[in-house]
Structure 1
Amino acid sequence: MPGDVDDAVRALLLLMPRMVGRVKKIPVPEELRSFPLAPRHLSLLSNLLLDGPMAVNELAARLEVAPTTVSLLIGDLSRMGILERREDETDRRRRIIGIAAERLPAIRDWLAPGAAAWRKALAPLTPDQRRMFVDTLLAYEAAVSGEEQD
């Protein structure tokens, strides 16, 4: 186990490329290969897969983007036949977004193993340790992108 910061950095410099390489090798299901899916689409699909259908504003909050951005993504995926929109029975002005039933098995087979792997890795941690892990990854992302706050 890494002891000091440099030992941890060395361990992560070995680990991160392996993790990214393994994720990139996860095959896209045959029925989805023809679609121009980007990482932003996968985040949206993963949230719907984990938590089920939800409103645009809920998706926007989870993805930490504006509702208009989510609406554009939903439009893309709806035109591809990957998402379905339906009226909210309690408020007909709201639309509930879900994965199209015919696409759900392929998306589940593709994305659910990654969520299961995160659950397995995070389950032994306390809530505070999980928060620290996520915060550390967010800090790393910010530092790499040049967006870190001093």
Structure 2
Amino acid sequence: MSTEHRNQGGTGLDVDDAVRALLLLMPRMIGRVKRLPVPPELQSLALGPRHLSLLSYLLFDGPMTVNELAARLEVAPTTVSLMVSELSRKDILERREDDNDRRRRIVSIAEPNRPAIHDWLARGATAWQRALEPLTPAERQMVIDTLHAYQQAVETSDDASAGDNG
């Protein structure tokens, strides 16, 4: 990457400058997120990133079935079922029968944990809301698409590196 600055006239960054900016920004963002304190009542539960996404959906979108959660999380229903079982045993989640179909179970956050989970996760949602609000719907989609593309590129790079080691 060249060290030459190419952002002339405020028209945007070239790819190299954008990469440099993101290489500085991403560790700061991740570091800040990691410093968000886990509420004391949840610290002993060993919650991981996979739990946070599941809890976020239930917090912001309300109760739903395992299949609905699996679709949103883009994982198999059995994976979500295992997570729900684990979190139910820890009294973080509740499962109840669906009034319309007794074969289905509706998953929700247990009321005693809702305030702590809300306080913990709402900060990130509020920050994203502030960052995305000024953008057009197309620009918001571009941000999301770019983050997905980055994630896939990192995973592809990790897979290729793992293949080199074996």
Shorter-chain TM-score bucket reads over 0.9
Q: 2:89 aligns with which of 61, 79, 92?
A: 79
Once residues 9 and 98 of structure 1 are traced to their aligned partners in structure 2, the CA distance between those partners, rounded to angstroms, is 40
Matched, 1:117 2:123: no
CA displacement 1:94-137 (0-9 Å, x = unmatched): 10000000000000010111011111111111111111110100
In the TM superposition, 1:1-150 aligns within 5 A as: 3-146=13-156
Once residues 45 and 68 of structure 1 are traced to their aligned partners in structure 2, the CA distance between those partners, rounded to angstroms, is 17
Once residues 3 and 126 of structure 1 are traced to their aligned partners in structure 2, the CA distance between those partners, rounded to angstroms, is 19
Once residues 80 and 37 of structure 2 are traced to their aligned partners in structure 1, the CA distance between those partners, rounded to angstroms, is 25
Moved over 6 A (4+): none
CA displacement 1:27-61 (0-9 Å, x = unmatched): 00000000121110111001101101111111000
1:145 deviates by 1.2
Once residues 102 and 47 of structure 2 are traced to their aligned partners in structure 1, the CA distance between those partners, rounded to angstroms, is 30
1:86 deviates by 0.6
Gaps of 5+ in 1: none
Whose strand proportion is higher, 1 or 2? 1
The alignment's TM-score, normalised by the length of structure 2, stands at 0.86
Once residues 13 and 58 of structure 2 are traced to their aligned partners in structure 1, the CA distance between those partners, rounded to angstroms, is 39
Cα-Cα RMSD: 1.3
Give the fraction of aligned pairs with identical amino acids, expressed as a percent: 69
Structure ID, larger Rg = 2
CA displacement 1:63-85 (0-9 Å, x = unmatched): 00011110000001000000000
Gaps of 5+ in 2: 1-9, 158-166
SS of equivalent residue, structure 1 residue 103: helix
Give the aligned residue type for 2:124: G
SS of equivalent residue, structure 1 residue 96: strand
